[in-house]
Amino acid sequence: MRYPGNEEGGTAGSAGGTGNGPGGNKEDSKPRYSIPGILHFIQHEWARFEMERASWELERAELQARIAFLQGERKGQENLKNDLVRRIKMLEYALKQERAKYHKLKFGTDPSNELGKPPDLEPEPPELQTAAGSDEPISSQVSWRQGRQLLRQYLQEIGYTDTIIDVRSNRVRSLLGLEAPEQQAQQENGGSNSENKRPVAEQPRRVPKKSLAEAMMMEAESAVMANFDFLSGGMDVDDDDDMADDLDDVDDDIKQSKRKSRGIADEVDAETEEVLNEFSFLGAEEASAADKTDEWSYSGARADDVSLGELAQLTVNNDADMNMDVTLDKEAFRKTWMAKYTLRSHFDSVRALAFHPVEPVLITASEDHTLKMWNLQKTVSAKKNASLDVEPLYTFRQHSGPVMCLVMSSSGEHVYSASLDGTINAWKVPDCNIDPYDSYDPSILVRTMNDHTDAVHGLSLHSQKSHLLSCSADGTVRLWDPTSKSPLIDTFSSPNDGIPTAVDFVRDEPSHMAVAYNSQVVIYDLESKKQIVRFECDSIGAVNRVVCHPTLSLTVTAHDDRHIRFWDNSTGKMLHAMVAHLDAVTSLALDPHGLYLLSGSHDCSVRVWNVESKQCLQEMTAHRKKFDEAIHDVAFHPSKPFIASAGADGLAKVYV
């Protein structure tokens, strides 16, 4: 056996390139420990350990980020779950009240044991004050329970549980306002129907079972009703039975839709419908059962009894399922953004971009000193490539340094750009069908404002007035009116905070602005120049971007420490913080309604977030790195379903 250090020592020696080579050679001939050999071995091992340690640490940091992200997600899910459970309870209660009222009206008796009972989730004693015409005595409760057990067993055998989950997820989907694919909904409901129907056909004398199965079928039908808004025709039990027999063939879509349209519309009153639309399978079952005519009233009550028992189970036991359904459905049915257009014509990093308010037109600003205008309707289709190439329509040349930021007016008439040399240019936006090789029109450049003495890193445009804010490395934030003769209105500086890094108008309070300094965010009043709120924070990372919510008193900040943070403008309290990316978050954009947030990061990815739930809805890897920079800007189209990202690789991409 050879001492491993020989090999190692030899390699290290030659790599080091010092005079240790001979030592290694000597050892080869004489397999002995030697000082240089051992030293090399130790050195080598040490270097290897260091390297491994570094990679472990890297991995650890990544995993920690992942954990934090997942924890945030879990919290959101839990909130949603609690909300749903609470609403289920509320509806249960309302339903019971309603049923009691109905009962009272119909039979003049007061179902005292039911009325006013708080909505708890325990199985309540079955209603006994059923219709006078009903031939079922009180004692039938026991046999009914037995029947229920049997039925359950049976249903389980035929895969009822799977069906119920399908139906339930369908419900959650409609609850979330996501469009359920019709085909699937039909199949699910069809499946549950045919499966539930079979026992009825085979064992017709088990009345309770039949009624439960009927009730469930009713529910499934009403779910279809709710989904498709076919509110016509009456309930025809016989027809339905026939149908159900036919429905043994699950794939028979035509029959299903026929059945669907026949539905039970008149029984499903507005309230029931609401319940159906909003709530869980069992809640819905209960409702539809309760609203039956007297023929159904008894079994309806029974179904109700069952459902309460099961509801308790479901709400407690299946929380996890439910949450999973929510996530899965969201994954499956949400709009997914796909990269469609690649805008290539810049020679260097694209720093900023802005969409036209109505046209499918955008303008990009780059470190190659130019701005370019693109019309997404004028594409050159690249062969065998799904994405389309767009050629620029117009190149704005005036800046003599990298263009750092860009905003477009809400009328789409003007665009403002600022560059590293401190100049801010106001441009007229050329016609979006301009000939790219038209003759030069110097009037495109409206004016140049060069009061800033250093690089301008941020611009923000007032949504109504033509006021412009800029923040610069010269330590000032300036307010401009680009249309007036002397455009500079005011200058703000805060020597204690240093250089402002980002700025935005507060949208719900337009006389305020939010300014980010290295690790502070402050809201100022533009008229009094007074500080309104300073966001409370200890040790937050440098702020790269600040955006204010279009309607809420909410500000979102992007940080170098990979976080996105949400702040309440009135109190200055942090509402939420999340690790959003694997590297510094550089850019943010809120959609015009403030429901979705877009973030770009130097980790090369763009993420879409739900502002309310703070969940990440989609991640897109979009650009390649140049040095350690990857994505500089992201944007939403103000009125069309486009989003865009600007990359350090000189490309801009538009997603649809």
Beta strand 388-397 with 339-344 is parallel
Considering the complex, state which of residue 60 and residue 74 has its C-beta at the smaller distance from another protein. 60
Measured from the Cβ of residue 591, the count of other Cβ atoms closer than 10 Å reads 17
Distance of CA 350 to the CA centre of its chain: 26
Selected binder of another protein within 53, 106, 258, 397 (CB under 8 A): 397
Measured from the Cβ of residue 525, the count of other Cβ atoms closer than 10 Å reads 14
Residues 163/135, Cβ–Cβ less than 8 Å? no
Residue 256 interacts with another protein (CB under 8 A)? no
Backbone angles phi, psi at 578, to 5 degrees: -145, 145
Segment near another protein (CB under 8 A), from 4-12, 28-36, 224-232, 435-443? 435-443
Considering the complex, state which of residue 116 and residue 498 has its C-beta at the smaller distance from another protein. 498
Closest residue by Cα to residue 184 from 333, 288, 334, 335? 333
Residue 545 interacts with another protein (CB under 8 A)? yes
Considering the complex, state which of residue 215 and residue 404 has its C-beta at the smaller distance from another protein. 404
- Least CB distance to another protein at residue 48 (A): 15
* Contacts (CB under 8 A) with another protein, residues 624-653: 624-629, 648-650
- Least CB distance to another protein at residue 193 (A): 53
Considering the complex, state which of residue 454 and residue 525 has its C-beta at the smaller distance from another protein. 454
Residues 477/519, Cβ–Cβ less than 8 Å? no
Q: Using alpha carbons, list the distances in angstroms from residue 162 to 155, 184, 191, 537, 570.
A: 10, 15, 10, 49, 49
As a whole number of Å, the end-to-end CA separation of the chain is 65
Element (H, E) at 48: helix 35-107
Per-residue x/- track, 293-332, another protein (CB under 8 A) = ----------------------------------------
Q: How far apart are CA 241 and CA 513, in angstroms?
A: 67
Backbone angles phi, psi at 454, to 5 degrees: -150, 180
Residue 457 interacts with another protein (CB under 8 A)? yes
Residue 501 interacts with another protein (CB under 8 A)? yes
Which tokens belong to 583?
Answer: 């590297």
Selected binder of another protein within 76, 283, 402, 600 (CB under 8 A): 402
Residue 645 burial by Cβ neighbours in a 10 Å radius (0-12, 13-18, 19+):
buried
Residue 385 interacts with another protein (CB under 8 A)? yes
Per-residue x/- track, 338-377, another protein (CB under 8 A) = ----x-xxxxx-------------------xxx-------
Q: How far apart are CA 52 and CA 327, in angstroms?
A: 37
Q: How far apart are CA 44 and CA 12, in angstroms?
A: 7
Q: How far apart are CA 136 and CA 300, in angstroms?
A: 13
- Least CB distance to another protein at residue 627 (A): 4
Selected binder of another protein within 111, 422, 482, 600 (CB under 8 A): 422
| Bridge partners of residue 427, in order along the sequence | 415, 445
Selected binder of another protein within 98, 319, 454, 591 (CB under 8 A): 454
Residue 584 interacts with another protein (CB under 8 A)? yes
Residue 395 interacts with another protein (CB under 8 A)? yes
Token pair 């990544």 in the structure block, residue: 62
- Least CB distance to another protein at residue 228 (A): 45
Q: How far apart are CA 68 and CA 195, in angstroms?
A: 44
Amino acid at position 257, single letter? S
Residue 177 interacts with another protein (CB under 8 A)? no
Residue 398 interacts with another protein (CB under 8 A)? yes
- Least CB distance to another protein at residue 424 (A): 14
Residue 528 interacts with another protein (CB under 8 A)? no
Segment near another protein (CB under 8 A), from 23-31, 94-102, 119-127, 537-545? 537-545
Residues at the site binding another protein, with contacts judged by CB under 8 A: 54, 342, 344-348, 368-370, 382, 385, 389, 391-392, 395, 397-402, 420-422, 436-437, 439-440, 442, 454-455, 457-458, 473, 498-502, 518, 542, 544-545, 560, 584, 602, 624-629, 648-650
